[in-house]
Amino acid sequence: MSDPTVDPTLRSFLEIPDGSPFPIQNLPYGVFRRTATEPPRVGVAIGDEVLDCAALEARRLFDGPNLAGKRIFDRPSLNPLMALGRDAWREARARISRLLSRDEPLLRDDATLRGAALIPRAEVELLLPVEIGDYTDFYSSREHATNVGTMFRGPDNALMPNWLHVPVAYHGRSSSVVLSGVDVRRPMGQTKRDDEPGPRFGPSRRLDIELEMGFFVGPGNRLGEPIPVGEAEKAIFGMVLVNDWSARDIQKWEYVPLGPFLAKNFATSISPWVVTLDALEPFRCAGPEQDPEPLPYLRSEGERTFDIELEVSLQTEKMAKPQRIIRSNFRHLYWNMAQQLAHHSITGCNMRPGDLLASGTISGPSKESRGSLLELSWAGKEPIELPGGETRTFLENGDRITMTGWCRKGGRAIGFGEVTTRILPELG
């Protein structure tokens, strides 16, 4: 049975600007407030406005079996909604879609309710949408892993022996996940050049981006009970853009034998709007062929990924406007989200509502699709040329990075908004 919320002919009674990332077919969730003294609550982006779901909840307009009588939207995070599971998510989405549709008079014709529930997006402060308990970062792009391995081990040993068998990941730091618009300060740490006898302490000089996407876990699982790969998508609430910052010079010195630590814990930036898997359903596609075949607990049949176009732009302090430096696609990832979640929980690790799992750098087959400056500049040997004669190998203070994501198909398009961050100088 087709989902009416993604019907391309569906129209809202609101005027949606051409090219908006948030048509009625999208309906991404976020958390907002209008003033610093106002309590945060859950909203949905629609065109240039935010629909205040708490205002609808106060009017008892969520009256279905999974939401009636529950206080879900008058909350400072999406966690209570995520904990309810897929039936409740779909019930909420269907109700919101109906209320915003052109043919439904309940909200359209009630001026008082519209005044309370619809707020210009420019007039609200967006907040971190989720209370993130745990954060895991995967390493799931074959092209990225091959590029990095080639730089440091040569083409014959680019992929480690386990890479084609196991979705490699590390546990990140949830406390430093920040929202788009929060500036990131250049980290300090130990680094060691190859020609130096010992390490030095100071600011990272190889500060890098990582073009990623992340997903939030919904109900999760009990300790000791893995999530089967075939059931994993039912536990995924939605997706955001992720820039997982990386201090490459700090990482090079510290990563043996246990992997990333200070090079990754200073900041991870995410976009404010969480796009649900139901909104992404029309954009499903097959991922790369997996050879050798994964072990049975990781075998994933059918179209298990999404065609999401991704771009990164860079603007230095001297540039009048941003310059696109990367164009990639989420579908390039070798390991899909269901496999990542199934692998993460196969030990019985208990996933909880609000846990964030990121994809790892998303690179593709072309140079323009390389998802990090490390790859674009080939470890600093091939500077990126920018307007006005500037070049970059890694980021400098004052540089501004913006990532965007879109799904487009047959005239349909939905977006993820953006995650934008400026680099501040180190302290001291």
Tell me the pLDDT of the chain (428 aa) as tens digits. Answer: 589 999 999 999 999 999 999 999 999 999 999 999 999 999 999 999 999 999 999 999 999 999 999 999 999 999 999 999 999 999 999 999 999 999 999 999 999 999 999 999 999 999 999 999 999 999 999 999 999 999 999 999 999 999 999 999 999 999 999 999 999 999 999 999 999 999 999 999 999 999 999 999 999 999 999 999 999 999 999 999 999 999 999 999 999 999 999 999 999 999 999 999 999 999 999 999 999 999 999 999 899 999 999 999 999 999 999 999 999 999 999 999 999 999 999 999 999 999 999 999 999 999 999 999 999 999 999 999 999 999 999 999 999 999 999 999 988 899 999 999 999 999 97
**Cβ(372)–Cβ(325) below 8 Å:** no
Strands 211-217 and 236-243: antiparallel
Strands 391-392 and 384-385: antiparallel
**Cβ(395)–Cβ(386) below 8 Å:** no
Residue 426: predicted pLDDT: 97
> What is the 8-class DSSP label of residue 411?
T
In the chain, ranges of CATH 2.30.30.230 domains: 4-127
Please tell me the pTM assigned to this model.
0.97
- Catalytic option among 144, 332, 343, 344: 144
- Tokens 């994809």 label which residue? 359
Superfamily of domain 135-424: Fumarylacetoacetase-like, C-terminal domain (3.90.850.10)
Question: Using DSSP, how many helices (H) and how many strands (E) does the chain show?
Answer: 10, 26
**Cβ(394)–Cβ(382) below 8 Å:** no
CA distance 230 to 46: 32
- In sequence order, what E strands does 295-334 have? 305-306, 309-315, 323-329
Tokens of 293: 């075949």
CA distance 218 to 14: 30
Superfamily of domain 4-127: Fumarylacetoacetase, N-terminal domain (2.30.30.230)
Q: Is 144 a catalytic residue?
A: yes
| Rounded CA Rg of the chain | 22
In the chain, ranges of CATH 3.90.850.10 domains: 135-424
Residue 428: predicted pLDDT: 72
Residue 411: predicted pLDDT: 84
